[in-house]
Amino acid sequence: MSRVQVRKTYKLWIGGAFVRSESGRYDEAAGVNYPRASRKDVRDAVAAARKAAGPWAARTAYNRGQILYRAAEALESNRGRFASSDEVDASVDVLLHYAGWTDKLHAVLGCVNPVAAPFLSFSLPEPTGVVGIVAPDAPPLLGVVAELAPALAAGNVAVAILSETDPLPGLDLAEALGVSDVPAGVVNLLSGRRHELATALGGHRDLNAIVDAAGDPGLATELDKLAAETIKRVRHGAAVTTYEDATDDALTRLEAVTELKTAWHPVGA
């Protein structure tokens, strides 16, 4: 007797759990239903990210690198879920590249500032906090991983809006994250209508920065206006299509989600 295959039920990834959209709405891609997130889901994702932000930033840089490396391992072992093997390879390599950056940020971005005696002044990089990511439509997996990796390497947590036309690879990424060491709430993945979710995310007052790779000039302008209301950092960029695109400007991507804290100390006074 032949059996009916159990079809996969796609869900959002919020706070380390697979959840249905609060609204109960679904859209379709490649003949598969996937959840259409609502503004309430955006708020839930930001709340989960904010809760995870402190503990994640408090981890040692070396430990964050280990966790990103484990995420790359998990993605590699789950490659059968994805249609494009080349895109999985590039995504794994991007995660490994930024895993290597975690314990080098202080040396590269930090500095001792030249000031008159008897003072010592130095600057150290710190995470921005909760980073909102608007992923491009294509490539659906590498496009979001390339923006997630530098944000996590710098000690930030993230809420990512996935490809609108092909969100399934991004939702499959959650399956890999679910068996990795990435703590709950550090990464949150939402599928649905980009404009609806991106404006809700950009206007959220508990968001600290926005990384926009959607390539939509109208949306970019709207995000700039929303960010200006609460003084958020914003970086607009083109969709990443290769490993080189994601890593050649690694320092720029890391600086966009990093703050510099400057301290002064009296010396011999």
Taking residues 49-68, report their average pLDDT: 97
* CA gap 210, 202 in Å, rounded: 7
CB 220 within 8 A of CB 236: yes
Question: 2 Cβ partners below 8 Å, 6+ apart?
Answer: none
Average of per-residue pLDDT across 199-225: 97
Q: Which pTM value belongs to this model?
A: 0.94
Amino acid 58: pLDDT = 96
Q: What's the burial of 62, exposed, middle or buried (CB within 10 Å: 0-12/13-18/19+)? A: exposed
**Residue 59 pLDDT more than 80?**
yes
Region 212-231 average pLDDT:
96
The conformation of residue 123, written as its DSSP 8-state character, comes to E
Phi first, then psi: give them for residue 59, nearest 5 degrees.
-65, 155
In the chain the domains, ranked by start, together with CATH numbers, are 13-18+35-266 (3.40.605.10)
pLDDT at 268 over 70: no
Of the chain, the end-to-end C-alpha distance in Å amounts to: 87
DSSP state string for 175-217: HHHHTSSPPTTSEEEE-S-HHHHHHHHHT-TT--EEEE-S--H
Residue with the larger pLDDT of the pair 124 and 152: 152
Which pLDDT tens digit goes with each residue over 102-140?
999 988 988 888 888 788 887 888 999 999 999 999 999
* Mean pLDDT for the chain overall: 94
20-24, Cβ contacts within 8 angstroms, sequence gap of 24 or more? 21/192
Q: Residue 124's beta-bridge partner residues?
A: 261
- What local confidence, expressed as pLDDT, does residue 269 receive? 54
